[in-house]
Amino acid sequence: MSKEHTELYSYSQKEAERLGELERWRTSHLENIACKDLITQTIAKNYSDNCLHQDSAKEVIEQFGYKRTAYVLANSINHKSSDGRFSRANKEWAKEIYIPKEKNHLNGEFAVDSHPALLDGFINQYHRAYATLEMFDASKCIQTDEPQDYTNKVVVVKSSELAEQYFNGRDQIYLATSGFGCEPDKIGRAVFATCLGDGVKVRWDRSQILGVLKDECIPEYAKEKLAELELKNQQQEAPTMQTPTM
C-alpha cells in the first residue's frame, strides 16, 4: 500500500495532555471520525438486493489503512457488544484491539451506526482483505510461560508496531542476531535483527517482539534468506589462506 496514512494515536486524550501530545491525539481522533463516516457511506452505497456488495471494504482500507480501519470497526462493535447480530468471532476480535477509554463519550464519535448485520458483513470483508497480507499472529509463535532468548531465532514483530507501508508478513519476521534485548535476563532492550523479507538490518525493542516463530510456520522465502545469511556468515568466518614467503 503506497499511500501514506495519518498516524493512529494509541493513547487517550488525558494521556496526550500529560505528554504534551494533544495535537497528535486531536489529528488522529478527527481521522477516526472521517474513517467512520466513510464506512457508513460505503455501506449505504454498496447495499442493494438485500446484500452488501463484495469488496466494499477496499475503498475504506485504501483511504485510511488497515490499522485505523480495524481500530474504528473494533470500537464500533465494542459500543454495541451486547447486540447479537455481531458474530462471536468478530466480538472476540474487537476485544483484542486496545482502545483507550475516553471521557465525554469521545469514543462514540467514531462508532459506526450502520445496521449491525451489515456492519458485521463489512467487518468480514475487512478480515478477508487482511488475510491476503499473510500476517503472523500469536498462534504462529511458540507458546511458553517462560521468557525466551531470541538470539539466532526467527522472531515475529507485533503488527501494531509496523508502519502501514510495512504492513505485510514479509516485513514482520526477522532473524534476531544480537543485542541485550535478545536475552530475557538482561537490562538492555535492543534487539538487532535482519528482515527475512528484504535482508534489511533493523533495531527493535524487546517489547515490540511478539515471539519466536514456529519452525513449521517459516515460509519458503524466509528459509531461503536464512540459508543465504548462514552461507554469508560461514564465508566471513572462514580463515584466509596466506601465500608463503621465501
Dihedral sign, Cα of residue 140, residue 146, residue 150, residue 156: positive
Percent of the chain with pLDDT over 70: 95
Domain ranges of the chain: 13-131, 138-237
- CATH T-level assignment (fold) for domain 138-237: SH3 type barrels. (2.30.30)
Q: What is the pLDDT of residues 168-219, one digit of tens each?
A: 999 999 999 999 999 999 988 999 999 999 999 999 999 999 999 999 999 9
Do 203 and 186 form a contact (C-beta atoms < 8 A)?
no
pLDDT value for 239: 64
Taking CA atoms, 57 is separated from 43, 124, 214, in Å, by: 9, 9, 32
- Whether 240 has a pLDDT exceeding 60, the answer reads no
Number of Cα atoms under 13 Å in the Cβ half of residue 33:
10
Percentage helix, strand, coil, to 5, in the chain?
A: 50, 15, 40
What average pLDDT does the segment 217-229 reach? 96
Mean pLDDT for the chain? 92
Query: Tens digits of per-residue pLDDT, 46-89?
Result: 998 778 888 899 999 999 999 999 999 999 999 998 899 999 99
Amino acid type, 57: A
